[in-house]
Amino acid sequence: MLILPSGQLLCVFKRDATMVEADVLRFRQGKTVTKHKRRRQLHTKTLQTLCQQYSSGRKTMGEFLDTVGHNIRLR
């Protein structure tokens, strides 16, 4: 089981937000943004399902964070 310190988890989310901002800038400049659309859709669906499970009480905060940790790319 991989457990990330909260500071490192926050850093990963900030890095992802920076990449999205760069994509938005490229898009506004008329450049094509090529991403792995299918993989991104899968991650989005997974995160939506996890959020629903947590909000309905089927997953605890620990289980939620553990599962999210397995879905984060570390570089």
Q: What is the pLDDT of residue 11?
A: 75
pLDDT tens per residue, range 31-70: 776 666 666 666 778 888 888 898 899 999 888 888 887 7
- What's phi and psi for 66, nearest 5 deg? -60, -45
Q: What is the pLDDT of residue 14?
A: 80
Domain ranges of the chain: 6-70
Rounded-to-integer distance, Cα 65 and Cα 9, Å: 10
pTM of the predicted model as reported, rounded to 2 decimal places: 0.45
